[in-house]
Amino acid sequence: MRWRSPEPAFREVSKFQSLADYDSALDGQYQLLPFKFTPLDAERYVLTNMVGEYAIVGRDVAHALARHTLLPTHPDYARLKSRHFLKDADSHVAVDLLALKTRTRYSRLANFTGLHIFVVSLRCEHSCPYCQVSRQSDDRVAFDMSLDTASKALDLVFRSPSPALKIEFQGGEPLLNFPLIKKTVEAAEERNKVAQRDLQFVITTNLALLSDEVLEFCKAHQIQISTSLDGPADLHNKNRPRPGRDSYERTIEGITRVREALGANAISALMTTTRASLDRVREIVDEYLRQGFQHIFFRSLSPYGFAIKTKTYTAYDTSEWLAFYFEGLDYIIELNRQGQPFTETYAATILTKMLTPFDTGYVDLTSPAGIGIGGVVYNYDGDVHVSDESRMLAEMGDKTFCMGNVHHHSYEDLFLSDALLAPLEESFLASAPMCSDCAFEPYCGADPVYHYATTGDFVGRKPTSGFCEKNMAIFKGLIQRMEGDVFTRSLFRRWAAR
C-alpha cells in the first residue's frame, strides 16, 4: 500500500509551528522559561527554575507572570529575568546560561561511582536498638569479609571512571576485622600507583576498640575516622549500650586520641535522633560544641535492620522529628548570631543546591537517585548493593537491590543489572508523579530504597511519604528563615559556600 499524505485539515492542526511563533508569547513581550511553583504560605509562592534558583513572589505577581501581563516596570520583573524565569528581547544569553548551569548541576553523573563501602564485618560489641544493620555478636567470624572478597571488590573499585575514589570501611564494627582493613588499604595504594586516582580512606567506628596500632596505621595512610555521638553521656549510653556501660566514655576518649594522633579535622561524628533525644536538642548541640565539633547532622531513624526488629523506627512520627529539627536549627542560628560558628550539615547540603549551581552528591537528595552512581556497597559475603540502606534491606531478607556478587559477576554485569537500572529509571524526579510539578524538585531526591522499604514501590506514594513530608517542610523552613531575617540569609549563604 502506498503512503498518502494526511488530508489538508489534519495537516493544519498537527504540524509544528515555527520557532517565531513561540517568541512573542501570548499578550506579553517576554517568553517564559521552565519553572515550577508551590505555595509558601497563604499570600506567597515559591517559584523555582530547572537549576533550583528560587524567587518568592506574591500571588498576584505569580498570576501576572503566568498570564504574560507582568510589566517590565514591575519591581519583580528584573529579578525574575535575572534568575531565568523569563526572557525578553534583551536576554541574549539567558538560555545559554541556563544550559551551562544545568550541565554544571549534573556534571557529577559523568564521574559515576566515587564512594565504595566495604562492610568488613557484621560483628559488633554494641547493641544499639536503632541500628540499621542486622548485626551479629562479636564472636561470629563467619560474618567477616575475606581477603579474596576484598581483592575482588578492589578490582571493581578501580573499574569506576571516577577521578576520586573514597573507600569507606563499615560494619558492624569494622575494627573487629582490622587486619583485613590494613591489607585492603595497602593493596589499594599499590594499585593506585598505576591508576593515579585521588584515593581516600575512611573507617566508620564506634571507637571502643581504638588502639595505638590503629592510630599509627591511620596516620601512615592518612585515613579519616567517622564515629557516632548521640549527645551527653546519659543519652549516648542509653542509645548505644555496650558491655561495661561506658560507650560515651570510650567515644570521648577515642575522639581525643584521634585528634592528638591524626589532627583536629581527622574525625567527624554523626548523631541519631531517638525518642529520648526529642526534648534535648539544645543539650545535644552543646555536647558537640563541648567536644570541639563545628557542625552536626540531625539524623532521623531509618526503617531497616535492628531498628525494625526492636520497633525503634516507630518511636516517633515525622512531625515530632521536624519539631526537634527546627528547634535545633533555630538554636544553631542563634549561636551564630552570638558569635559562635556552628553548622547544621543537612541544611547546608540543601542550601548548596538552593543557592549555588552545584550538587553536593549527597545520595538521599539526588535525581536521578544516587544509588550505584553516588556510592556502592560490597558486603562481607561479596554481594554488591546499590546503597548502604539496600544492603540493610537485604540483611532483612529482601535482595531487590542486590546487583550481584563479586565472585560471580563482572563490572558490566553488576552496573547494568536490573537491580540498579530499574529503580534508577523511576528515580528521575522531573518525570515522577507529583515531583514533576513540585517547586522543590530541584533540591530533592528520589530515594527509591526508602520508598520501596515503606511502600513496596520504587516511587512510593508522595502524599503519605515521610520522606516528602520531612524534606518539603525543611525546604520551606529554610526559605522562610532566609526571607525573614538578613542575618540568617547571610549565614545560610556562608553554609552553602562552605
Section 69-76 average pLDDT: 94
Exposed e or buried b per residue across 445-483, where buried means at least 16 C-beta atoms within 10 angstroms of its C-beta: bbbbbbbbbbeeebbbebeebbbbbbbbbbbbbbbbbbe
Section 369-398 average pLDDT: 93
Confidence of residue 71 (pLDDT cuts 50, 70, 90): very high
Exposed e or buried b per residue across 260-283, where buried means at least 16 C-beta atoms within 10 angstroms of its C-beta: ebbeeebbbbebbbbeebeebbee
User: Strand ranges (DSSP E) for 387-455?
Assistant: 402-405
Residue 451 confidence (pLDDT)? 92
Helices (H) and strands (E) in the chain, counts: 21, 16
Confidence of residue 243 (pLDDT cuts 50, 70, 90): confident
Spatial distance between the Cα atoms of 199 and 216, rounded to a whole number of angstroms: 19
Which pLDDT tens digit goes with each residue over 140-190?
667 999 999 999 999 999 999 999 999 999 998 999 999 999 999 999 999
Residue among 252, 264, 267 at smallest CA distance from 208 = 252
Residue with the larger pLDDT of the pair 494 and 446: 494
In degrees, to the nearest 5, what angle opens at C-alpha 66 toward C-alphas 62 and 69? 90
Q: Hey, which residues does 137 pair with through a beta bridge?
A: none
Residue with the larger pLDDT of the pair 415 and 27: 415
Residue with the larger pLDDT of the pair 132 and 260: 260
Residue 18 confidence (pLDDT)? 59
Give the position of cell 498537527: 14
The whole-chain average pLDDT of the chain stands at 90
DSSP 447-486: -HHHHHHHHSSSS--GGG-HHHHHHHHHHHHHHHHHHH-H
Section 331-346 average pLDDT: 98
Section 343-372 average pLDDT: 93
Spatial distance between the Cα atoms of 402 and 393, rounded to a whole number of angstroms: 9
Residue with the larger pLDDT of the pair 89 and 413: 413
Confidence of residue 477 (pLDDT cuts 50, 70, 90): very high
Give percent of the chain above pLDDT 70. 90
CB within 8 A of 323, min separation 6: which ones? Answer: 278
Section 307-313 average pLDDT: 52
Confidence of residue 336 (pLDDT cuts 50, 70, 90): very high
Is 19 a residue whose pLDDT tops 50?
yes
Confidence of residue 206 (pLDDT cuts 50, 70, 90): very high
Residue 27 confidence (pLDDT)? 44
Residue 396 confidence (pLDDT)? 84
Section 440-444 average pLDDT: 95
Residue 312 confidence (pLDDT)? 56
Which pLDDT tens digit goes with each residue over 33-48?
999 999 999 999 999 9
List the domains of the chain with CATH numbers: 26-105 (no CATH), 111-480 (3.20.20.70)
Is 22 a residue whose pLDDT tops 90?
no
Spatial distance between the Cα atoms of 449 and 423, rounded to a whole number of angstroms: 8
Section 324-329 average pLDDT: 98
Residue 7 confidence (pLDDT)? 43
Is 216 a residue whose pLDDT tops 50?
yes
Spatial distance between the Cα atoms of 35 and 85, rounded to a whole number of angstroms: 6
- The DSSP secondary-structure symbol of 391 reads H
CB within 8 A of 212, min separation 6: which ones? Answer: none
CB within 8 A of 389, min separation 6: which ones? Answer: 132, 302, 304, 449, 450, 453
Residue 123 phi, psi dihedral angles, 5° rounding: -70, 145
